[in-house]
Amino acid sequence: MDRGITTWGGLPRLFFGASDDITPAISPSLSPSADTAHPVQPGGSQPRILVTHALVAICVIVFLAMLLSRVSPTHPSSQQLLRWGANFGPLTLGGQWWRLLSSVFLHIGVVHLAVNMWCLWDLGSFAERIYGRATFLVIYLVTGVAGAMCSLAWHPFAVEAGASGAIFGIAGALIASFYFGNLPFPRQSIKAALFSVVAFAGYNLFVGMLSSAAGNAAHIGGLVSGLVLGLLLAQFPGRRTVLMGAGLAIVLGCLLLARTNGYVVPAEQGRHALTSGQSDGAIRALTESVRKNPKFAEGYFLLGQAYMQKQQFPAAETAYRHALMLKPKASDVGYQLGMAVAAQGRAHDAWAVFSDLAKSDPASPDAQMGIGVAAELAGDYQLALQAFRRAAKLDPRNAQAYANLGLTALRLQKNDEAISAFSTCVALQPDNAGALLNLAIAYKAKGMEKEAETAYQRALDLSQKKSSFLPESPVPNSFVAPGN
């Protein structure tokens, strides 16, 4: 997940075409000092724009280095991004605070990089002439970190990166300076520049609302911190002002993250414990997480998984119901809730849960799988068979759907269908000894003794092979967040 790809529809030069008219001099009220501001004298040469070009170069160099390490140029994985310093709540809040800054120079694919650098080149060059090198650099870094903090507080479990928060920070500072500052430029030129920057911010915030809430959080955090810094510079000129503003922004950001830190870190501890089979530790950590944030739906879902692992099905049901109240359309939560109810032998209640899931998402194979499980629990094997058929049709790569279909068909003495279902399951999972054993049973029921013996021997060989490796292959303790 990125920090929001800036997709500004218009050409930057189109908006900032009037910038040459407003750079013949720098306002004394905004100039931090003679050694950092770079005014252009009438008839003189343009000042050298060093910081903006250096920032763009750093972002490009980082991206090229990622490519050399075989990171995908268009769709880098979450793990690849994390290795290069992306922002991710459990890691950042767990002590790797440097990710707030490193993520500002990291981009998620070549399109993300190109569009952000395009905007930074024009907007940064313009702002660097206004503020001078040192002040502009502080604005860029502080607003970039502020955007990362805001994004982290908004969506702590997203993997995020990008310079868009800092770009919005530059825009915010310019808006405040144009509106509140005493700039010695033609009023019409200031209005044109102000309109262009406001248009940039407004358009990209609108696009962010449509595409990525996490990305827009970084946009808003960068914009607001930039507005504050620009206002402070307009009212209280000097380098000390921007440093004090930077410190204030960081302190407020830390306060914003304090509550987030309280539930994110134990949630990640619980996730690690869950995946390593430490149910009791997972339950303790995840209970602490949802206690500190009662609206944390993912925490309740993971807590339900931990209780299921512990086979405490009533407690799992309670946790899943909490998660579903917070996210009523989460189909995976609905499925797990139905399974927790079914595990308690309540076929009718499980049927109701899975039927509701099927109504809300008719294309859900999980809903059909659940209906099949509930029907089997109620003893209606014909209905279960129909449900498993639908599940396999909706998701032809779902080996479990074929396994359930084969077992139900075998129970109904539909041996040909059972053989077909188990054969498909084995094709999808060649190392599944259980599927091979079920296939042998189906062959046996059909009277195909030779085929049954072959399948049984394959299952036996596979089981012995796996058993011989068990002492050498412990379950790994690492966890890779799904969908990232």
b/e map 192-207, b = 16+ CB within 10 Å: bbeebbbbbbeebeeb
Alpha helices by DSSP H, 361-448? 365-377, 381-394, 399-411, 415-428, 433-446
Please say if 219 is a catalytic residue: yes
Long-range pairs, 440-449, Cβ under 8 A, ≥24: 441/410, 442/406, 442/410, 442/415, 442/418, 443/419, 445/410, 445/413, 445/415, 445/418, 446/415, 446/416, 446/419
Integer Cα distance of 393 and 401 in angstroms: 9
Q: Which of 19, 103, 164, 364 is an active site residue?
A: 164
Please say if 272 is a catalytic residue: no
Give the dihedral of Cα atoms 15, 20, 26, 32; nearest 10 deg: 60
Contact 230, 138 (CB under 8 A): no
Tokens standing for residue 61: 């160099």
Residues in contact with 44: Cβ distance below 8 Å, sequence separation at least 6, in sequence order: none
Residue type, 356: D
Q: Is 369 exposed, middle or buried (0-12, 13-18, 19+ CB in 10 A)?
A: buried
Residue given tokens 């009523």 in the structure block: 328
Q: Which of 78, 219, 225, 364 is an active site residue?
A: 219
So which residues are the catalytic ones? 164, 219
